[in-house]
Structure 1
């Protein structure tokens, strides 16, 4: 319980702290760069149902969580992500679904619009309580970074290896973040107007605060991520208006 002060300082309710230590979670994890085939993933994780749905078979799930992944041309990274994330979500005793929302064509990437679409489509499939918006190239390094939604919107990817495990700036809400259904609706989702890299997460930070919420974070030693290396995507140039 040495990290309890970090949770309380971050605005995490004590019940949420206790849950994170009562699960089957391990703590600090090794991450894997392998990209198994989808057939191999099916064999490795027999609890995963068609459509990327999973839940524990021997207990009542603690949360109903949709993982929304904006995506284009990252197939190898996607398989690496699935290889790492499924056992984490299973140990966290979640009723979860992973939704990969792919943008076709060669136009500039619109991450925010894809996440809005993912939210709308996931709600047609299951009554999710919580939505985690997740870049496909980020792998959690600690499974006590619980994929749920606290009483305030949460920025989850606090410490990323690419940024030397430090926040690039305080008002960041990109990478991995979680909101409840009610929070997402109150802020009116992500802004659709940002084509290209950057801008939408900063806009979302402002929407969250304008709606009367505050962004919370777990301690850096828990909210750690490794970024999967990938080539430069020519269709995702920086947004000059960000």
Structure 2
């Protein structure tokens, strides 16, 4: 007698979800119990057991010198995401060299490397110091790019401006490729998220958000990062640089790729580039009126 294979039903978001609290008790990464989530497969990948996930999501986390936050982030996010019945994998992308932190480049690296490890359709770019406070803030993509971290406690749970696209964002494979990924030119804190916002809007996309009562995050405490002094200047060149600055110009070398039970850890060296368009600006900074 032939057995009829039963297809699993599509997963649905549980109806009893609501705001949750955060235990901020820090643990060392070495103390993280990798067996705490037996449902998570090696490399930090989860698929619902009794239903078929509608969304396949790669979560890309740019990282350096935030060990204090990483273990808490990994533990918290698995608990949070499994409630949403999505298929996902957690990628930690670490910058190895001593150059100023380049969040945009790391997210481009994460996008390309994650594609080698699964057919991901949706990409969540996620700061390690932000934790979501409501599971109804579903980590999935839509026809339009989505700004997930719209309401952060440090900012009074208010949106800084209408074009804001920082902290935690969701874009599809098609959307990310169409805008050529993030800019590689922003070193230090700030600018790459506004640049991405400009890229998306130039391509005709409209940034969407969940209700502000749902899109709430708490920011873990940390020292202020060095602000990018070239931020305003670089943003002024987004329109003429986006086609040649991004995925198409990315250069990097993977130093290590470690698979842990709860996450995939990729360490990369990023290659710095000096754009010819920046030379007059840099020269003016160095020499001022002597030129």
TM normalised by structure 2 equals: 0.72
Q: Which residue of 1 aligns with 2:190?
A: 198
Deviation at 1:24, TM superposition (A): 6.0
Q: Which residue of 2 aligns with 1:4?
A: none
Residues 186-226 of structure 1, C-alpha deviation per residue, up to 9 Å, x if partnerless? Answer: 11100111111111111101100111111001111000000
Residues 172-199 of structure 1, C-alpha deviation per residue, up to 9 Å, x if partnerless? Answer: 1110000000000111100111111111
2:11, 2:53 within 8 Å by CA — same for their partners in 1? no
How many residues get paired? 221
Distance 1:198 1:131 in 2: 20
Q: Secondary structure at the match of 1:33?
A: coil
Alignment equivalent of 1:241, drawn from 230, 254, 263 = 230
Could you list the runs of 5+ residues in structure 1 that have no partner in the other structure? 1-18
Pair 104,22 (structure 1): closer, same or farther in 2 beyond 3 Å: closer
**TM superposition outliers: structure 1 runs of 4+ over 3 Å:** 19-22, 35-41
Residues 79-228 of structure 1: matches in 2 within 5 Å?
Answer: 79-228=71-220
Q: Which residue of 2 aligns with 1:46?
A: 38
Rg larger for? 2
Distance 2:15 2:38 in 1: 18
Deviation at 1:20, TM superposition (A): 10
Q: Secondary structure at the match of 2:175?
A: helix
Deviation at 1:231, TM superposition (A): 3.0
TM normalised by structure 1 equals: 0.87
Deviation at 1:31, TM superposition (A): 1.1
Residues 67-115 of structure 1, C-alpha deviation per residue, up to 9 Å, x if partnerless? Answer: 0000001112011111211012111111100111001132100000000
Q: Secondary structure at the match of 1:47?
A: coil
Of residues 117-126 and 76-85 in structure 1, the stretch that sits farther from structure 2 once superposed is 76-85
2:13, 2:84 within 8 Å by CA — same for their partners in 1? no
1:24, 1:92 within 8 Å by CA — same for their partners in 2? no
Distance 1:225 1:20 in 2: 25
Q: Which residue of 1 aligns with 2:257?
A: none
1:66, 1:96 within 8 Å by CA — same for their partners in 2? yes
Give RMSD over aligned pairs.
1.8
Residues 99-142 of structure 1, C-alpha deviation per residue, up to 9 Å, x if partnerless? Answer: 11001132100000000000000000000010000000000000
Could you list the runs of 5+ residues in structure 2 that have no partner in the other structure? 1-9, 232-291
Of residues 94-103 and 53-62 in structure 1, the stretch that sits farther from structure 2 once superposed is 53-62
